[in-house]
Amino acid sequence: MARGCVGMTVLLFPYAGFYSVVPLFALAIAERRVRVLSASLAFLLLLSLAMEATILKLPLYLVAVSFVAPTFGALVSERFQDLGKSLAYLATTTALGCLAILWTMPPTLGAAMEPERILFLATLGGLSGAFLHTASTYRDFAVPFGSCMVMWLFSFDYPLPDLQHMAGIYVFALALGIGAYRMKAADAEAVISEVIICLLVIFFADIFWFLLLLSFYLLGSGFTRYKYARKQELRIAQARGGVRGYKNVYSNSLVPLAMAVLYGVYGSDLFAFAFLGSVATATGDTLASEIGETARSQPRMITTLRSVEPGVDGGVTLLGEAASLSGSLFTGVLAVATGMAGYGSLAAALLGGFLGTNFDSLLGATLQSRGLLSNNGVNLFATLFGALVGAAVWAALF
């Protein structure tokens, strides 16, 4: 009940404005279990007031949307291991987020803001809130503050698809996520992550850009099951039968997502080549691991060329190197076939993917083996390296 009352505070915004912190403090005193949540939302209100004096304004309607996920969204579903509850959460936060924006927007802005942007911001608030709910143990701070910052980051003026087209993209993203969940290729948390990435990549770049990422997801899932019984015997098989979680999704997709957003903002092909290099790295590295680990020949450490056991971080095989090249080439050919980029992109994909995959092995042999980086951290830095190689190819060609 107290959590619901915190959410209802949004109704006071058009009348009390920043003084809505008063009932929040009262609720914090009355019920200790919402003290962190009330303090977090009060902080956002005060931050919005402070930003009024600067050019970087934090609109009050974004603060209102950030109230939705940790209050009414949490009342609908607090757990995200079940896909049905996750979808109910997303539907609730999106619908109430749209209402929160409409209720708290200044009348002059309300007439100018298109419904597509209202829907986009509300959806982004709900999706980021869901992700932060699963990723953080300090949910009553991370969910409202983090979702507000994400919405603020994407609140600049950017052309969005019309409402009908946007609805089709939403259905497409959800259908892919549900399909991956049914095929046991991703858990419910990964589905939420995939939907966020799908929407942002398509909105800021194009659906063909996401198809390249989708090809990585499909190839990764498919080859995880390649000779899975033998990998189990060697004790190097992916846990949970290869079902991907949100950490795996983001560690491989965060850099491509950033490149797609930058392309949408600046329109330079530099970011298209960097995107190709990062996706080719993710694809090549996954195929090198899943296929190379089944090689009959003994893996060799990339730094010393000494023989190591299969599955050791930094170990490489000729079969794995060939698989990396094949995956990278596949990414480049798909980019050309879909019209995303010209033939020069083949070089970006091949070099970016192959060098990025081996950079991944190098990090595995050094930083990961010493416990300084996790496997997800290695994937993140490897895709970033692949993006830099792709960007260098663009600079050399153009």
SS3 307: strand
**Would the pLDDT of 235 be above 70?**
no
User: What pLDDT sits at residue 123?
Assistant: 93
Question: Which tens digits make up the pLDDT trace of 257-271?
Answer: 999 999 999 999 999
HSE-CB of 252 using CA atoms within 13 angstroms? 25
Question: Which tens digits make up the pLDDT trace of 48-106?
Answer: 999 988 888 899 999 999 999 889 887 776 555 667 777 888 888 999 999 999 999 88
**Would the pLDDT of 388 be above 70?**
yes
Is residue 39 very low, low, confident or very high in pLDDT (cuts 50, 70, 90)?
Answer: very high
H helices present in the chain, as ranges = 2-8, 13-16, 21-30, 35-51, 60-68, 74-76, 83-104, 107-112, 115-135, 139-153, 163-182, 188-204, 207-224, 228-233, 246-266, 269-292, 318-337, 344-363, 375-397
User: What pLDDT sits at residue 80?
Assistant: 56
User: What pLDDT sits at residue 122?
Assistant: 94
How many angstroms separate the CA atoms of 326 and 113, rounded? Answer: 47
**Would the pLDDT of 233 be above 80?**
no
Instruction: Yes or no: say if 143 and 151 are a contact pair by the CB < 8 Å rule.
Output: no
List the one residue out of 298, 283, 304, 295 whose CA is nearest residue 360.
283
334 contacts: CB under 8 Å, gap ≥ 6: 211, 212, 215
Question: Which tens digits make up the pLDDT trace of 173-208?
Answer: 888 888 888 887 777 777 888 888 999 999 999 999
How many angstroms separate the CA atoms of 232 and 62, rounded? Answer: 48
**Would the pLDDT of 228 be above 70?**
no
